[in-house]
Amino acid sequence: MIADLLPAAAVAAESFGPPGDPSLFPAEAAAIASAAPARRLEFAAGRAVAHAALAGLAAPPGPILPGRGGEPRWPDGVVGSITHCAGSRACAVALARDMTAIGIDAEPCLALGDRLLEAVAGDAERGWLIELSAAVPGIPWDRLLFCAKEAVYKAWYPHTGGRLDLRSVTVQISTAGTFTAALPRDPAADPVSGQPALARLTGRWLAGRGLIITAVSVPR
């Protein structure tokens, strides 16, 4: 599913159903050793699809360790993103010479709780959600908004090295399967990639198999 949202330069891998018991590189196992069993299983399942995606990119095998913000630290010359939720996990990677950033997210196709919606949506976005729900009922547009912002954040953080308040991002969703995100200008968040700061991103979304999936890709 995730491959349908990405450009040809990206390589994706995903799996569905129970995660099983995938193996980890010793350094990966050590990095997650103190976590709860459920978190270790989730981490291992995410790393399994990440290793598969990197293999599709012809990258040499090796551990994918978490960075200071928990983000995956990709091999030199690679950008990527991992997502997982109940019954699903996916990864997308690309060569840094082709793409500046990738962000993907998957969420259950269920309505978002009111408190979480208040934390992530501005007034304009709430108005758009009402319009979307009236135009196309049956899709949890509030969950889609959250999922889009998560994908935006996953593209933003490795590129800038800065935190991002999801409520400061304004996302407008199209029923045609796309969305746009206007990002705040943060002079303190210098791009770690040496590229200009991101100000506006576009993404794609789809719903299927009980999931909402979003993807943001930034070409070089």
pTM score: 0.91
116 Cβ partners below 8 Å, 6+ apart? Answer: 146
| Dist CA 51 CA 131 (whole Å) | 41
| Dist CA 204 CA 179 (whole Å) | 6
Sign of torsion over alpha carbons 208, 106, 186, 217: negative
DSSP-assigned letter for residue 91: E
In this predicted model, what pLDDT tens digit does every residue of 36-63 receive, in sequence order? 998 999 999 999 999 999 999 999 999 9
Domains of the chain and CATH, by start: 2-100 (3.90.470.20), 105-219 (3.90.470)
In this predicted model, what pLDDT tens digit does every residue of 164-217 receive, in sequence order? 888 889 999 999 999 999 987 654 444 455 555 677 899 999 999 999 999 999
Q: Is the distance from CB of 108 to CB of 211 less than 8 angstroms?
A: yes
| Dist CA 28 CA 32 (whole Å) | 7
Question: In angstroms, what CA-CA distances link 77 with 52, 92, 95, 212?
Answer: 17, 14, 6, 29
Confidence check: pLDDT of 90 > 50: yes
pLDDT (0 to 100) of residue 16: 92
| Dist CA 176 CA 205 (whole Å) | 9
Tell me the two tokens of residue 65: 């360790």
Q: Is the distance from CB of 206 to CB of 161 less than 8 angstroms?
A: no
